[in-house]
Amino acid sequence: NNTGLRLFRQAKPAIDPRRRKAARHRAAGRRISALVLIAASAILAACDDAPPEDFVSTPSTAFTDHESTAIGQQIAQLARQHPGKSGFEIIRYGRPAFTARIALTDLAEKSLDVQYYIWQADPTGRIFADRLVRAADRGVRVRLLLDDINLGGRDAILAAVNAHPNIEIRLFNPFARRKLRGLDFLLDMGRVNHRMHNKMMIADNSIALVGGRNIGDHYFQVHPDSNFRDLDIGTIGPVVREISSVFDRFWNGEWSVPVEAIVESPVTEDDMREAVATMRSRIANDTYPHPLDLDVQELHEQFDGVLEGMHWANGQIVWDDPSKILEYTGSGEMFEALHEKIGTLEKELRIESAYFVSLDRGIEAARSLRDRGVRVSLLTNSLVANDVLAAHAGYAKRRKDLLEAGVEIYELRPDPGPVDQKIISMKAQSALHTKAIVFDRKDVFIGSYNLDPRSAAINTEAGIYVESPEIAAKVIDYMDEGIDPHNAYRVSLDDQGDLKWTIELGDEVIEYEKDPKSSWWQRLVAWFIQILPVEHQL
């Protein structure tokens, strides 16, 4: 302690200055040596945690006889009325989005293929996991593919659930050092920096949900403190088989590791039942804000009408091959496809993107669209609403350039507007997590892809592209709700060319000269990140 240190210093005899200097050098050398030894020991210890490289991964593919199940037969009858097309519908809000996922676990007879970037250990995550187990208990084969980025400390529970005879869990690009993950970023950055950002769920190879939502309270608007605005698209018909093929490509690749390969000892089915019992006990003690069982029952009763109300159109899954993680190419398939599509626009481009980091090529594209008379509108997060400060810094660095290039910019307010208050029924902070684009009010993209360098070149992404003015109109209505002055700031330039933010509170119009509701510290950190050479990592 400090008192002991002072007493020790007072008791030391006088030392010649030259001897004191030599002693300091020797002490510094010993400290460096000690640090090297500690680091070496940590690295060696971490290496002991590395999973075996010769793990066995049994290939499997999507359920093929998709017309043999009850849901498959019903959808096949509808699909025959629309040859070559698929059915689509968007899911705007968190409550119906989670209800849809739970309903699919109930309806599935043969298979559930589930792929997510984040799965939180919260009430939503536990409920969804329990429903997958219940489906597996009925004989449904469950394949669960998770990115490993947020699974630290959860190997045991994953391995326990994986012990179910009808459940298999794989981790995408797992960290080798299970207990010292930070070392992987230091020693293996080129590999672990690449993540699987995809979000999709497929039931019986007949119906699929794709979009921006991960699994967790924040994504379904039930968290008491902060919630995301997000968007999913549900689909039936031929495009579902394409989505299943994408899932199989990720599932069977060398980058997806069975969870049993990363745990130290085998797990039994008894361990699984004990873990599930513990999980269900926690669920019983959780307080969920919606009557989920009643919601699911209502959706089941309305399911025929939901299917018949789908909009049939040409559509496809747009995705990055997981081999993208093996090397840095500068951009992926999705980036090039979307950029090519933007070049064909004639009237309007509407974008809603949680993280929007535009590099030189993006600014040039915006100017080109402006010069051709194409309106470009963007809704993204404000500084206080953004949950990733570095991403906001990358966006803010080019914000003025975007405005000068003719882009209309709106930033979501952190305080929920009237719409969010009605949906959430609680005073929680709002944030944007949507990734959606509407092209010329005719075509739509909804998925996991943010318009930033990380989505373009580092992570894998997936989304649905639909050629449907009807779906486009629904997404535009959703976007208009987001940019409503009660829900978003309008960002523009004043007469001096400086940024200003405008909102409406009732009949009152308020202007800000700095990022609204932000602290000087938030602005300082964002500014500091802007001057760092990290733009291509954001």
- Cβ within 8 Å of residue 37, ≥6 positions away: none
Give the range with max mean pLDDT: 19-23, 48-52, 321-325, 516-520: 516-520
Strand (E) or helix (H) holding 493: strand 488-493
pTM: 0.87
User: Is residue 359 within 8 Å of residue 455, measured between CB atoms?
Assistant: no
3-state helix, strand, coil in the chain (%, to 5): 45, 20, 35
Residue type, 75: I
Residues annotated catalytic, as ranges: 197, 199, 204, 433, 435, 440
User: Among candidates 489, 469, 458, 231, which has minimal Cα distance to 352?
Assistant: 231
Distance (Å, whole) CA 237 – CA 75? 7
Residues 194-235 pLDDT 10s: 899 999 999 999 999 999 999 999 999 999 888 999 999 999
Q: What are phi and psi for residue 203, nearest 5 degrees?
A: -110, 125
Question: Does 268 have pLDDT greater than 60?
Answer: yes
Q: Count the residues in the chain.
A: 538
Residues 341-393 pLDDT 10s: 888 999 999 999 999 998 888 899 899 999 999 999 999 999 999 988 889 99
Per-residue CA distances from 106 to 66, 387, 415 (Å) = 16, 33, 36
Q: Which of 325-339, 418-432, 435-449 has the lowest mean pLDDT?
A: 418-432
Q: What are phi and psi for residue 233, nearest 5 degrees?
A: -130, 130
What are the contacts of 177-180 at 24+ separation with CB within 8 A?
A: 177/46, 177/47, 177/49, 177/50, 178/49, 178/51, 178/262, 179/46, 179/49, 180/42, 180/45, 180/46, 180/49
SS3 488: strand
State the pairing for strand pair 200-203/207-211. Answer: antiparallel
User: Is residue 396 within 8 Å of residue 499, measured between CB atoms?
Assistant: no
User: Among candidates 366, 433, 432, 375, which has minimal Cα distance to 399?
Assistant: 366
Token code pair at residue 299? 């959706």
User: Is residue 204 within 8 Å of residue 74, measured between CB atoms?
Assistant: no
SS3 355: coil
Question: Does 18 have pLDDT greater than 70?
Answer: no
